[in-house]
Structure 1
């Protein structure tokens, strides 16, 4: 067993410290340039459209999701323990400057996730009356590579549908048990019932759950974070300064006690940012593929909003809580700080809310993990349909396996399972990145086509208004 752990650890070191950081940031920069820095021009109109969709909920036929439901399901998967525990670990190991590099990764990640979403829309399929899509489908239909698509699908099933569910259920059980003193067996029973009821309802119930819970979950955590920042408002400017100074000169923070290099700061910031928003990982395209939208590019713009919410809002909320509340101590070495990173954010909330702070964070973490379980299951199921051609018996069996994984996850030490999840997620990202690069011309073509159609529509509307004026 120790040999297996060493092998998994070595693979993860190579994947996450070197290969994926370079590959994911590289594809993000490449697509950003190719798409003419669309982050600057498309993000805020997409945010406005999202708020409009939130007010006026659409209805779609069975087997599809509305664009907002697709976004909610994607954000459900993106926002998990990585946005709290992972971010705390990043600033513990890389200093406050790691937050700056998280934002850099999110900026370039927006163009990556746009590309994933439009390709998922273009190359999706219909199976048993339901839309289905994702990297396995655009690798098979776009690259015409059955082998690479099957490789991705199998890695995704294990990464998200089995070991991924185990680590998330473990987070829920551990957090609630520690905060409220509830026995883990009771938490396991309740969690199993809730997840089973949601999964039994299929795509429709998953979509309804996501669009209801995700906005409440995100707003509650951000508002709670803003209150902590407000309680420590005198530390806000120094906190912002420490982020920018620490990004390029970490030794200038804490009088050199941190022992952190610029390389460490960049590595932890980029890797945790990429891990939290999942841009380029190949997970979120599964939900964007089933959105009922007028044009693939429209869903690509919506997908960008998911990265903005995950990193620019929720991850940075965690960073600012830790720094302004001074639960992050720049005078303690990085090694010692990393050891206590898991309770760092809890201390930050406790500083403003007292004992309720730990409970509040536990509730948020539980809902983050619960929604991630639902989102990851949906993504994995899309690949089960791909591998086994949507056989009903196989899908029922996979549901049972996912529930068993959930139960096991609440009862074990998750350290090694986290390592396995990291490894499989890293492995599944590689064929996705290859596909994004080789299909980049398709992405650019889809965006140009959208802009042409939009320009024609705008010109037609203008002419119609002129005619109306002449008539009047």
Structure 2
């Protein structure tokens, strides 16, 4: 545990904060601040697609299903427990840095999504893609791709599902008094049933459960904020003041430095929305969309939902309800961070509030299990192929890990998750930096098509060298657009 904790601390406290924020700032500037001009038009188009009930081709997901699967993975215990820990350890000002990380993370996740779309492959009639594929096909580095794939399989498909099942077991046991073994068995059966249905089952589950889950939690949070409306303005002030002068909150009793505030805010923000970690591109790669850039815009919506809506809801519940106590030192507060949000809901809803939060946390964790498994499976396919026996074996391993995870010390599992997700992020950040020019060219290609009035267009996903008979080569190195 000491070795794992030490490596994780170095990764998250130093290397990844600078790496993830750096690539986010770089892509924001290079793409000319897409956060302001691209998100809401994409949201409008996606809503129109939902209303029209547009169905994806076989072996693909609709853009909304891909977004739902992505958000399913992004929205988990980190949005409740992780955010509460950030506030407890870094003060209210940590929320400011968490939102800043999300803002720049939107440009990062756009880059991941478009590269995943461009370099995806088809196996047994189904699309598959993700960082390992754009490392192999775009960066031409098999070693880096295999390293990423191995850490993703372990970090998401084994250790990742363990930490989420552990959170479900703890929440249900605490709120309802149900024994762990009774929770573990039906949970394993539910997850196994969803996973055995393949991509189609995962996509349908995500698009139904994720919106309902998010709306339910946000609505409950809004009710708490309304009941404590007199504390809303002071809460907002404490976030901005605490971001730059944390000693001013609580008369200096917190004992928090500006370095701690920034560190906890950025680290938890980056972890909760997963921008740059290399997880969510796996779902965006299989989206049935007309141009990679369009799925990149939709990917940015996922970060907006995860951080600006759900994480911010958790922040405001804790501060306005008084469950966060500014007169208690950070070390003491951090020890009770896991029950902070629960106390916020209890203050308005009583025992029902604690049960409500347990249900929300359980659904958050369940959807994260499904999303993370889907991402891990894409890397199993990369390493071992798409044989049915191989994938079935991995499903069984993942479900067994899920069951065992309900009984393990949560602190140790969280440290393992931090370690492996950190190791995943390193090669992904390097690749995004090297391929950043391609990302910009893809966006330019989209704008060029849009400007010329094309109704439908298709980006050439295949390697240009292998498809000279189908595509002409442009000066930029991109293929010519194909008019359907």
Q: Which of 330, 334, 341 is equivalent to 2:337?
A: 341
Q: Determine the C-alpha separation between the residues in 2 that align with 1:305 and 1:56.
A: 20
How far apart are 1:458 and its partner, in Å?
Answer: 7.5
2:67 is aligned to 71
Q: Which of 115, 137, 141 is equivalent to 2:137?
A: 141
SS at match of 1:131: strand
| 1:1-400 paired onto structure 2 within 5 Å | 5-400=1-396
Q: Determine the C-alpha separation between the residues in 2 that align with 1:97 and 1:186.
A: 40
- What stretches of structure 1 of length at least 5 have no aligned partner? 461-472
User: Please, what TM-score do these two structures have when normalized by structure 2?
Assistant: 0.93
User: Please, what TM-score do these two structures have when normalized by structure 1?
Assistant: 0.95
How far apart are 1:236 and its partner, in Å?
Answer: 0.4
SS at match of 1:411: coil
Q: Determine the C-alpha separation between the residues in 1 that align with 2:269 and 2:50.
A: 26
Q: Determine the C-alpha separation between the residues in 2 that align with 1:267 and 1:38.
A: 25
Number of residue pairs the alignment of both structures matches? 456
When structure 1 is superposed on structure 2, of 42-51 and 309-318 the one drifting more is 42-51
How far apart are 1:389 and its partner, in Å?
Answer: 1.6
Contact conserved, 2:275 with 2:303, CA < 8 A, in 1? yes
Q: Determine the C-alpha separation between the residues in 2 that align with 1:264 and 1:412.
A: 29
2:403 is aligned to 407
Contact conserved, 2:317 with 2:341, CA < 8 A, in 1? yes
Q: Determine the C-alpha separation between the residues in 2 that align with 1:93 and 1:53.
A: 42
Distance 1:459 1:134, change over 3 A: closer
How far apart are 1:459 and its partner, in Å?
Answer: 11
How far apart are 1:182 and its partner, in Å?
Answer: 1.2
When structure 1 is superposed on structure 2, of 39-48 and 222-231 the one drifting more is 39-48
Q: Determine the C-alpha separation between the residues in 1 that align with 2:72 and 2:52.
A: 20
Q: Determine the C-alpha separation between the residues in 2 that align with 1:50 and 1:239.
A: 34
Q: Which structure is higher in helix share?
A: 1
1:421 is aligned to 417
Cα deviation, 1:182-224, whole Å, max 9, x if unaligned, reads 1211111110111011001000000000000000000000000
Q: Determine the C-alpha separation between the residues in 2 that align with 1:145 and 1:91.
A: 40
SS at match of 1:101: helix
- What stretches of structure 2 of length at least 5 have no aligned partner? 457-484
Query: Does residue 432 of the first structure (1) align with residue 423 of the second (2)?
Result: no
How far apart are 1:46 and its partner, in Å?
Answer: 2.0
1:469 is aligned to none
When structure 1 is superposed on structure 2, of 176-185 and 70-79 the one drifting more is 176-185
